[in-house]
């Protein structure tokens, strides 16, 4: 989206045009009034009418467009700062920021959440065989599938390369139930990743290995939670790929 801000020259021209038009109209009115006024009274009336007529016009034609364009520009800058350019998912910075909120919420409300780290299986083969355009198309489609499959309050992100994350808040107050729900979410994401992709007449296939860190069972920061989920994801890779593994404290 292209945002056009008023230039200094445009602002000056608009304000000058408004004042000149308002003053011209006032002079016409003063010339047709049926009674005579002294110079001071005429000057005071001129100023009052000029302010009355020009202020709304300056606001509507200069100030409001400038403020709206500025707010849109700031919103776009904020969006770019927290969004992965390719997939439009949350980027690493946004993921870490949101994950801290999920962790705090899980501890405060004593309800479990989950962090799922997803690594695509077979993605390098797609890049090698069909090129980076095909790889990018797969990443974009995976992002679309993941985004559409989670709740509106949950967040999907891309950490870089072919690694994605899904952050799920308020799963369950019961730990076994929360684990079971997180595994069902992971199974759904794996099934979505397994569906073939069409790219320029070619049918592409990837899979997904997922590591899960349950949030709320202990106090963690975002980096620690990511490391634990990463550890579980690598276990899933070693287990034959295409599966999900929950982090276990016994690994430490």
**Residue 45: both structure tokens together:** 């009336």
**DSSP state at residue 83:** B
Rounded CA gap, 58 and 14, in Å?
A: 8
Distance CA 79, CA 62 (A): 26
Is the sign of the CA dihedral 241, 214, 192, 125 positive or negative?
negative
Structure-block tokens of residue 18: 């408004």
Q: 175-208 burial by CB neighbour count: b if 16+ within 10 A, else e?
A: eeebbebbbebbeebbebbeeebebeeeebebeb
Tell me if 112 sits within 8 A of 171, measured CB to CB. Answer: yes
Catalytic residue among 119, 121, 162, 230: 162
Q: What is d(CA 242, CA 228) in angstroms, rounded to the nearest whole number?
A: 19
Angle at 30 between CA 25 and CA 32, to 5 degrees: 100
d(CA 165, CA 110): 23
Residue 180 bears catalytic tag:
no
Tell me how far apart the alpha carbons of residues 218 and 243 are, in angstroms, rounded to a whole number.
25
DSSP secondary structure string for all residues of 110-140: T-EEEEEEEEEETHHHHHHHH-HHHHHHHHH
Token pair 């390719």 is found at 86
Q: Which residues participate in catalysis according to the annotation?
A: 162
């Amino acid at each position: 989206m292209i945002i056009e801000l008023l230039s200094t020259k445009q602002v000056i021209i608009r304000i000058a045009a408004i004042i000149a038009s308002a003053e011209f109209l006032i002079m016409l009115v003063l010339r047709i009034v049926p009674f005579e006024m002294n110079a001071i009274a005429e000057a005071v009336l001129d100023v009052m009418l000029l302010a009355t007529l020009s202020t709304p016009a300056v606001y509507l034609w200069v100030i409001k467009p400038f403020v709206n364009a500025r707010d849109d520009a700031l919103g776009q800058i904020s969006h770019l700062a927290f969004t992965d350019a390719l997939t439009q998912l949350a980027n690493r910075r946004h993921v870490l920021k949101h994950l801290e909120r999920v962790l705090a919420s899980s501890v405060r409300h004593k309800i479990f959440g989950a962090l799922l780290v997803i690594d695509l299986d077979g993605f390098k083969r797609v890049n090698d065989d069909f090129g980076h355009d095909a790889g990018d198309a797969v990443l974009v489609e995976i992002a679309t599938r993941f985004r559409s499959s989670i709740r509106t309050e949950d967040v999907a992100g891309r950490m870089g390369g072919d690694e994605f994350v899904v952050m799920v808040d308020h799963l369950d107050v019961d730990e076994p139930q929360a684990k079971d729900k997180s595994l069902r979410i992971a199974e759904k994401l794996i099934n979505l990743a397994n569906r073939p992709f069409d790219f320029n007449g070619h049918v592409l296939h990837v899979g997904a290995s997922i590591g899960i860190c349950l949030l709320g069972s202990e106090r963690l920061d975002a980096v620690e939670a990511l490391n634990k989920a990463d550890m579980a994801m690598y276990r899933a890779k070693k287990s034959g790929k295409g599966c999900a593994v929950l982090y276990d404290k016994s690994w430490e």
